[in-house]
Amino acid sequence: MTTILKACFSLFDRIDYVDIESPVVKCNNSQYFTNTGSKTSGVQLGPTYLADNSDRVPTLVYFIRRSNNKYEEVEDELVLPMGETQVRIEASDGSNNKASCNYVIRVTGT
């Protein structure tokens, strides 16, 4: 019996864990900012919830939708014009599993 148990434990020692589960990322529905100038500065982008089944925090990449309807990668803090800007956040974990969420930032004047 001991030999069989040793063989089973030896087999499990060789099994590699494969992560196939995507991270979970959730965004606000909308964010509102008021500014007296033509642009607002220091807008912080970021998800409201981020989790993954691994020990490492997922990598985040931020995109905003430009007037040509194409998304452009941006930093997590930026200056935005008055009006609406669509934001997409993509999360990827160490196994390259990905998830994303979208929301709108509205900048209005006074």
* CA–CA dist 89, 44 (Å, integer): 12
* CA–CA dist 60, 44 (Å, integer): 13
**Beta partners for 26?**
49
Domain ranges of the chain: 19-109
Rounded to two decimals, what is the model's pTM?
0.74
pLDDT in tens, the chain (110 residues): 555 555 555 555 666 667 788 999 999 877 877 776 666 666 778 888 899 988 788 999 999 998 888 999 998 777 888 888 899 999 999 889 999 999 998 888 76
Q: Terminus-to-terminus CA distance in the chain, angstroms? A: 79
Residue (of 89, 57, 94) closest to 76 by Cα position: 89
Architecture of the domain defined by 19-109: Sandwich (2.60)
